Chain A
């Protein structure tokens, strides 16, 4: 499934979304109306200026949307392919510092995420392990192994860099039937994971291989498409302007995989795809996806699925607040291994940060708990409860 065999959907507008980069205070490096090439730095983190954010596409900056307290919501770019793409020099050697500054300058660093908390790691941070998630167990998602196999050169080049940005081991988590031709070296360790949806999530892998405790260490992880994007920079010297996503859900007439630009506008992607009648758009899978916030109609960073369901969304659903948890085996099946779902859910409902941390909340982010929210009858959205608890813990550090 190389990109050439997939349907390509052209869009006229793409965006960087502020909500994809938690805790970042953006400092703009350009203004509305400026012409930018894909890969040009357009923003950086005010507190950690080394971390740069680059334009996902070439074009003209159409709009910079800010919300309450001037928080950046999105930076929208009108696509214009005539603006040249920014070229990058491959790193001169493979010293840690050189590789890190290459990733920071080219914007690839911003695809790394930490656990706990799911932030962008600091430029000088030292992880206890790095995880590359080379599988996706959602049955509606694009097949990770096919995309990786079609971009093997980039994937390999990228892994070698990721293995060298720290002294920590790099865990390559892959599907058991997907043999990735990497000899288990001291740096790269291939670990097969099989199981249901949760077995494809980084929270699951981290829990298994490097559970996060109380020592204040962190681990980093990166998704396979971001790994390929980094490899594209290394191999071809320019950014990868493709992402493979899946369209699925009961309101989609022709569910399939699409090759699109990063950050593409959802309404253009869904044009002509939806069945008549009211529908609800979800970022992510039809089962576990998150209803889109208003005004955030672009693909997020690392998002691989776009879903549309028939029928109106149920507004009152989540407003019920805390309900009763009825324990059942389904909750065990929906939770990451080694985590007792019911005690964790009770701690989250109560906002008991200390207990939640003891029970493993530091390894998790919102996406890990969406199966639990789905399986539980209590009406609670454990993802947002978890985030509230994580923010408490983060503030206390």
Chain B
């Protein structure tokens, strides 16, 4: 009779439990982030580049990675050496602000910042500069969370806000680090840009096919490359009822519909000719659709509103991708806009509901 005892003890732990489940759901994408960072790094460098003396190179050399005939061990070490410092930085900065905010508002620290830090890390390239990480994470905690009163009270996903700020603030940040190759700066994978310029053959020339994009061995923001890993996390969240299936379904159906519309309009080239499955596989749409758009607090809270918001996200993503070749990924701005719209959508839905009720009452 587990349900009965949970009635009595559930409340104190319920919120912590939700954060824990989200972290578990992010485990597959985190693993892919590590493996794929290693893979991308090792396939982009020649053996000498390991000799650089920045923190990450020191770390991976210290752990004994080598670029001569790299194996699985080297891949993991290199991946960890890129993923972990960013995550640590994000956690330290997030924890610092959480501590200050908790002290000022005289409450205990909430575990939400761990989730924010992980989501934020997964939406960054492996070569992100630490100062940029600290900057984005600070603003995520303050603007995305603290000024609204803490966990669950913001109307934006803090991690999404942090990523958006980093993308906007440092548009030309890409450097000579091997993990910048194939990326359009902080905006992530340039695959859609490639498709824009050269169609499917450009993807093939860059060694991208459906399978590699599905399992995630392509360049991109660390956690967003693998649709497979995202699907695993989504399955857990859906099973536990932590994300609204309607919102997710609406985004997927919307992607299919709007990509189809642009296909039918008959453009000769550019992202308008891109079929829906490439929209799903390239860039960070899948990751954003599951882990950022479905943030229960920052999305629509009525069922019709969830459908509307989902279609809106899909429409914005496809539209920006097709119409604006300088912003190839488009997921972050689209999610941000849709999230800001969510209270307005809810307002409309509720007003409509009230009118319906008033009409059929006794």
Contacts and interface: CB of A to CB of B under 8 A. Distances in A.
Interface in A180-237: 210-215, 217, 219
A189 to B, nearest CB: 15
Interface string B149-160: 011110000000
Interface string A297-335: 000000000000111111001001000111111101000
A326 B361 contact: no
Interface string B283-324: 000000000000011010111000000000000000000000
B9 A314 contact: yes
B362 A210 contact: yes
Contact of A287 (B7, B242, B245): B7
Contacts of A359: 350, 353-354, 357
Interface stretch (B11-19, B189-197, B254-262): B11-19
B245 A329 contact: yes
Nearest to A331: B301
A340 B321 CA distance: 34
Chain A interface bracket (under 10, 10 to 19, 20 to 34, 35 or more): 35 or more
A211 to B, nearest CB: 5
Nearest to A347: B350
A324 B153 contact: yes
Interface in B3-40: 3-5, 7-9, 11-12, 14-15, 18
A324 B244 CA distance: 18
Contacts, number: 102
Contacts of B5: 250, 309-311
Contacts of A374: 7
A379 B11 contact: yes
A170 to B, nearest CB: 14
Contacts of B244: 327-329
Contacts of B358: 213-214, 358
Contact of B8 (A309, A324, A358, A360): A309
Nearest to A311: B8
B1 A326 contact: no
B152 A325 contact: yes
A107 interface: no
Nearest to A316: B12
A250 B1 contact: yes
Given A214-B361, A286-B1, A326 B297 contact: yes
Given A213-B361, A377-B11, A340 B350 contact: yes
Nearest to A207: B357
B360 interface: yes
Contacts of B18: 326, 377
A374 B12 CA distance: 13
B144 to A, nearest CB: 15
A338 B245 CA distance: 18
Contacts of B92: none
A211 B241 contact: no
Contacts of B200: none
16 contacts: A211-B357, A211-B360, A213-B358, A213-B360, A213-B361, A215-B362, A311-B5, A325-B152, A327-B244, A327-B296, A328-B244, A329-B241, A342-B302, A343-B301, A374-B7, A377-B14
Interface of A: 128-129, 210-215, 217, 219, 249-250, 280, 286-287, 309-314, 317, 320, 324-330, 332, 338, 340, 342-343, 358-360, 374, 377, 379
Given A287-B3, A314-B11, A317-B8, 9 more contacts: A213-B357, A213-B361, A214-B361, A324-B151, A326-B297, A329-B241, A332-B303, A359-B354, A377-B15
